[in-house]
Amino acid sequence: MSAALGSTTISVGGDYDVVIGSGVLGRVADLLGADVERVLVVHPPTLDALSGAVADALRDRGYAVHPAEVPDAEAAKTASVAAALWAQLGQAGFTRTDAVVGVGGGTVTDLAGFVAASWLRGVPVVQVPTTLLGMVDAAVGGKTGINTAEGKNLVGAFHPPAGVLCDVDVLATLPQADLVAGLAEVVKCGFIADPVILDLVESAVADDAGRARSAANPHLRELIERAVRVKADVVAADLRESSLREILNYGHTFGHAIEQVEHYSWRHGEAVGVGMVYVAELARLTGHLSGPEGDALVDRHRSVLESLGLPTTYAAGRWDELLTAMRRDKKSRGSTLRFVVLDGLARPTRLAGPDDALLQAAYGLVSRRDASGAH
């Protein structure tokens, strides 16, 4: 890791860099490399001005820029949108030495990465995440994908980016609900690897809860850097999610099930927040967390997440739907459900094939009695 001129650079296994700082958008060309001639800039309609600034920075360096507007949010992550981008690449004559740049939230960076991975069996991609979730999760690690009717990210590829550029200034205009949802992934890194993250969140909430939930959080850049460092360390050790990398899925199996059952009307971080409480309760039920320390850690899940305004419960009466969705999750192995649980703070482990009665009991501990699923 290095820091210079107001930015921090975190290396991911020596393969690529994540640059974090203020006013760093103009450095996108530095991450592309010398051989690129054409660049497809993928962005949602809400980020015309920001993507235009990125495109201008690329044109100033002599690149031929091809803007590509895609739908907002999960509507971007479909086979039809990917096919339209492939057509644009083909019509523009993109070769293996050309590149894709994704400017947007996690859905855009997932899509841009998948299109880059699949075009000519792989062209470079630089990710410019514009949401907190994108900065600490989706844009880092090289996991790309699109959704199908059967589930989220079921079609995808591992395709490490050429670089990631996180300009924290763009978070000032991010809606608070989206920033808070992104904080769920930051908190996840605190529970699985870096407890200082939890201390910083709790300190910020104690000082000013409203400020802690906004881009004015005085610890926000440090939280981003710590979360990226957690992910970078794990990804460098396990590029293709064969072992260690699974710990980054803490809270995601149940969280993805909520997203699917709710037809993606929940924000990812909101669903993962409930998912983390679910697996904390599951860890207690299966004996991974026990005694006063275990009880306190389960309670800390609720207190930290609720202090940020994140949901920690889900509607009762929907267990069958959730279980069906979890069994389709890509982290399952055959008919065996797999979860990441904690043996203690920053001590993640795997739990494979827990008894269905325990799974349902954990659901009972996070469910409430309204039927709407609203949050």
3-state helix, strand, coil in the chain (%, to 5): 50, 20, 30
Determine the distance from the C-alpha atom of residue 227 to the mean position of all C-alpha atoms in its chain, rounded to a whole number: 11
Catalytic residue among 159, 213, 226, 268: 268
Tell me: is residue 74 an annotated ligand-binding position.
yes
Q: Is-catalytic flag, 249?
A: yes
C-alpha angle with apex 298: 295 to 303, nearest 5 degrees? Answer: 120
Q: Is-catalytic flag, 241?
A: yes
**Cβ atoms 128, 102 nearer than 8 A:** yes
Catalytic residue among 66, 219, 229, 245: 245
Tell me: is residue 73 an annotated ligand-binding position.
yes
Tell me: is residue 331 an annotated ligand-binding position.
no
Q: Which amino acid appears at position 92 of this protein? A: A
Tell me: is residue 301 an annotated ligand-binding position.
no
Closest CA to 134 of 101, 177, 176, 102: 102
Neighbours of 354 (CB within 10 A): 19
Q: Is-catalytic flag, 231?
A: yes
Q: Is-catalytic flag, 252?
A: yes
Tell me: is residue 252 an annotated ligand-binding position.
yes
Tell me: is residue 143 an annotated ligand-binding position.
yes
Ramachandran class of 370: left when φ > 0, alpha when ψ lies in -120 to 50, beta otherwise: beta
Q: Is-catalytic flag, 188?
A: no
Catalytic residue among 121, 263, 333, 369: 121
Q: Is-catalytic flag, 331?
A: no
Q: Is-catalytic flag, 121?
A: yes
Tell me: is residue 76 an annotated ligand-binding position.
yes
Catalytic residue among 219, 226, 229, 256: 256
Tell me: is residue 66 an annotated ligand-binding position.
no
Ramachandran class of 33: left when φ > 0, alpha when ψ lies in -120 to 50, beta otherwise: left
Residue 128, helix vs strand vs coil: strand
Neighbours of 73 (CB within 10 A): 15
Catalytic residue among 252, 288, 301, 302: 252
- The CA distance from 99 to 37, in Å, is 8
Buried/exposed 83-119: b ≥16 CB within 10 Å, e otherwise: eebeebbeeeebeeebbbbbbbbbbbbbbbbbbbbbb
Tell me: is residue 152 an annotated ligand-binding position.
yes
Residue 2, helix vs strand vs coil: strand
Catalytic residue among 202, 222, 241, 321: 241
Tell me: is residue 238 an annotated ligand-binding position.
no
**Cβ atoms 348, 334 nearer than 8 A:** no
**Cβ atoms 25, 53 nearer than 8 A:** yes
Catalytic residue among 38, 143, 229, 288: 143
Tell me: is residue 79 an annotated ligand-binding position.
no
Closest CA to 288 of 254, 339, 241: 339
- The CA distance from 260 to 353, in Å, is 21
> Exposed, middle or buried, 80 (CB in 10 Å: 0-12/13-18/19+)?
exposed
Closest CA to 88 of 42, 134, 56, 137: 42
Catalytic residue among 225, 249, 288, 318: 249
Q: Is-catalytic flag, 270?
A: no
- The CA distance from 358 to 278, in Å, is 11
Q: Is-catalytic flag, 219?
A: no
Catalytic residue among 159, 185, 259, 301: 185
**Active-site residue set:** 121, 143, 185, 231, 241, 245, 249, 252, 256, 268
Task: Output the known binding site.
Answer: 72-77, 130-131, 143, 152, 185, 252, 268
Task: Output the known binding site for NAD(+).
Answer: 72-77, 130-131, 143, 152
Task: Output the known binding site for Zn(2+).
Answer: 185, 252, 268
